[in-house]
Structure 1
Amino acid sequence: MGQDLTLDNAILSAIFPSAKPVSVTILTQTFDTCTFRAQFDVQPSEGWPLDLIVHMEMFDDEPVLEVVTAIGKAANHQFPGLVPETYICDKALTADGRDVEYTVSRYLTGTVTLETVWPTLKAQQKESLVDAVVMAIKQVSQMRRTDPVVKELLAGTPFIHKDGGVCIGCPRTGYSKDLREFLTHLVDRNQLRRSPTSDLVETPEGVLIHSSLPELGSVLLTPEDMSTLENNIVFSHNDIEPRNICVQAVEGADGSTNYELVGIVDCHKAGFFPFAFETAHKDLSLGNENLFLDWYMLFKEKTRSMIPAGGASAKLIRAVRIITKSKCMQQKTSVMAEFRRRWLEKEGLELSDDSLTGWEKRSGGAETKQPWVFSLEENVRLYEMVAQDCQ
């Protein structure tokens, strides 16, 4: 197995040729990514602050961070200062000869992620922060791919189709000229080598998405549904979870500590989608990328009005569920997939018949009357048990 992507003198010298950081802290690290904080006692470049965050990724044929940078600028066009400013996006060579793409951005000094403080907040504080996040999302989602300024902001990126239009999608999902192509790509990405999972078929009545597992059924998107969804494609972050939300402590008049929204980070999944796709992704993230049920419930409640009325959005959400679950049920169980299954079971959750609602407490259970409480210890024990069972 290869080594994680890490820092070396070649990389640091390429990124910061004029000044050496006095402190470097690695924040996250995988085989093909590395994010670190760099602090200086002198300006590393004109106009740059002394506290910076650098994100590196292995460079493939198609740029990713260049597009992420452009998407961040588009978000800030709608909501100035929402995404930390990026000062440079460039390429470099590691000491072991690997090509990397990197960005240097402002570190939000004095902030913490919402994930770290969420369990300590009172119900009113939580709701206030969700309101602030949703207000920002609503403002950003006013940007549509048909807006002339979008072409200017995303010029030179794969978002601009050869026919001149702006694609649906993002760096993580790829880029599609229209919704039909987007759904085709989504089906393709969720296939397995040895067994079919789901399929998309053109019929006289519209686009039919069905599972190879009969119990998962199918969903038909009529031409009217497709048109409705196409006409409601907006800027979406697609990963609005507490780990990507930066907040700052402020002292209240009574001496208590409150928190206010400062910024939203990580635009790798941000792009142009029907907002129903973002709410479908939120369902998939619960029990995996997010373990705060009350955050999920508040977010879903307060963004429901952003989903256009009518049945098209509900059909899209069901289609995403069919496509992803058809793969999940036939895959060899991973630790994280099994953890999520058991976590959802532990929390007593089931998918509502109303696609827009998503996960909800099982009806009739005593737990529906009790306030939800986050337990890090329970989650750690569950993960350790799953890891042991999956060996």
Structure 2
Amino acid sequence: MQMLKAYTSRFSGLQQPSDSNTANTADRKIMIPAISSTQNATLSQALDACINNKTKPPGSLGRLESLGKQIGLIQQSTQPALSQPSILVFAADHGICAENISAYPQSVTWQMVENFLAEGAAINVFARQNGIALHIVDAGVKHEFGERTQLINRKVAMGSHNFAQEAAMSSEQCRLAIQHGKSLVVALPGNVVGFGEMGIGNTTVAAALMHKLTGIPVAECVGAGTGLSAEGVLHKQQVIEKAVSLHADVTQPLDILATFGGFEVAMMVGAMLEAAARRMVLLIDGFIVTSALLVAAKLQPAILDYCVFAHRSDESGHAKMLDALDARPLLQLDLRLGEGTGGALAYPLLQAAVNFMWQMATFESANVAGKS
């Protein structure tokens, strides 16, 4: 993916990467953080030597070896370590639901947020069992929650607009969501952050973003989402195709995000960019989270060096989305729940990858003969 060189007039206030990661709120500018590639030939050789000197045949720990090396390159260390992992779950509603593209009513979004806050959802279970701090963010849910200490209120609006008729959000709303995502990461401890989402209708959003950003035909991007019938999937496809035709002149990544995205997706874009700029490990979940990464990678291609792809979702289109990013997921469990569940389940593999580099004996320390 080539780095975006210029923005259209709708996003003239956004700046190219610079040494500053701060936003100039006076003139509504957002700085897109500079992200450096992790590639380092000297460190790469040192990590290879470290991994190959463990008491095992070369390559015998498979993906754990490449994962440990990736984390070492991110942290610029031959002894990588994970600390205080977090998952941010962003929730928002979508105007596109007016087109009858979901098997569930829109009210399920706020009801599931309540379930998160009551610690009754799958992501609560998996985050808790793996010692991951879970943060629930209201990015734009069509509901008033009131003052809730467990809920991070970053509501941009009461849901996005219907992109089958108009842009999902204004350029200013998109800027605000990106900035909120960045600020949330700045406040996080630790060096690992995963991303999750909740929003009835957001598989339609993700499919539209996928088509616009990759050029893959809409029919190959659309899936059952919340459990649509074959007729429902076809209707969803037709809604997206009509919307794409309506917004045919939208071509730049940030304009695509504002036109077809959601507040939770835009917030994830900002959070991902900031996390990579801070050399954190990004734990990428399923279809919707990966659609946000498509946008972020168009803005800063080096972000992919920091991404660990947790799993391949069973949602139709995710496999091709991953192929477009040349990404290799760690797990394939036929998941399609979202919420960050795949990321939480994959986290123990990250722990294993760094732990063997720290704790496994070398041939010399164990007095074991190496390969002749």
TM-score for both structures, normalised by structure 2: 0.31
TM-score for both structures, normalised by structure 1: 0.29
Higher relative contact order (CA 8 A, sep 6+): 2
Q: Which structure has greater strand proportion?
A: 1
Q: Which structure has greater helix proportion?
A: 2
